Structures are given as structure tokens and as C-alpha cells.
Chain A
């Protein structure tokens, strides 16, 4: 069953701790993205990667880090430097560049900082 899988679905973190969100896709898509969703603010781009071993900052990259060592995987680390990390995080992929097709989203990971 093809798709994009995020884990964990829910995550709780204490202040000062780093946490890594997993995103895996078996769609053979080149491009992958991380968005943050907050009520009333829509989807904001954190990082994106168009090819393995390459990624670019989005609009709100501060306090986050990513890696793209494999085509199928694009993990996101929320570091202690992120001042307001409680949010819903969505991973997405697309076959080529964004100008050529739709984004396929995962089901999301909800992070709560205690």
C-alpha cells in the first residue's frame, strides 16, 4: 500500500529536549517537505528537499533541522532552540518539483511540549 507515513502520531516532550519526527514514503517521490500547522495560520513551510543529500530552509526553519540521506526518508528534528514547538507537523512528498504536481501528505504528528 503506497503512501507517506509519519510517526509518532502523538508526542510529548519536556522543555529543553530535542525530538525527532519520522517521515517515510514509498511513492518514489523526489521531493519531500515539512509543514507546521497552527490554528488560524495555515500551513507554514519548515524545510524541503528536492533530492537526496540536499535540502533548503523554508519560511520558519529556525529551531529545526532535517536530513535527507535516503530518498524514502526525511526526518525532522525539533530542537530545544525552537521557542514554541507545540504544533501539528505535516510531512509531504511530490513526484517532481512543486510546479508540476500535487503534494501527498502524511497523517501528521502532534507534538506537545510539557
Chain B
């Protein structure tokens, strides 16, 4: 099955700086890679996703890049704000019809 590894487990940045979270996956059949944000005490919500036929996708201050050859994808958040503080999860589909999540990254944006 799919194995998704996520780094770092915690990340602290100053407000206005950029944040990068990296994930690797094992199953070359994976073709869908979403990123979820979970604020404290709330449900995870999709913030951006990318499919294997695309190398990069951007939505305002967030972007995701995918390197299929190296089997890794990354989340980039620019001009971080305090409301970006949350746990972020990457995920991959593998060859089946289920999502395998990474272990999460606790992002803290300091004033």
C-alpha cells in the first residue's frame, strides 16, 4: 500500500515569512495529492490539491509542487499570517480508492 512521509513535524516561522512542508510517497500509481488544514479543535479541510498530470498549482498565498520522478510534493505558504497556524496534512491515493495521510505538521506563525 501507499506510504506517505511528512516533514517537518513542527515548524515555527515569523509572520510574513514563507513556510514549506514536504511529503514523499511510495506508490508510483498515486495520482491525487491533497493538502488538508486542521485548526485546533476543528475538522480537517481541504486547502489545495494537485493531480499527477500537473507539476505546480497555486491559489493566492499557497502553492503545491509535485515531482513525480522523485515521488515528492510540497506545500508552500507565502506571507504567513497568524491564522495560518494549524496542523497541515498531506495525503496520497496510492493505486486504490483511499487516501493515506502523512503524520502532520504543526505550523506556528509567530508575531
Contact = CB atoms under 8 A, between A and B. Distances in A.
A2 interface: no
A105 B97 contact: no
B30 to A, nearest CB: 9
Interface residues of A, number: 25
B100 A45 contact: yes
Interface string A34-64: 0100001111110010100000101100000
Interface residues of B, number: 23
A13 B43 CA distance: 23
Interface stretch (A18-26, A79-87, A96-104): A96-104
B31 interface: yes
A42 B102 contact: yes
Interface of A: 31, 33, 35, 40-45, 48, 50, 56, 58-59, 90, 97-100, 102-103, 105-108
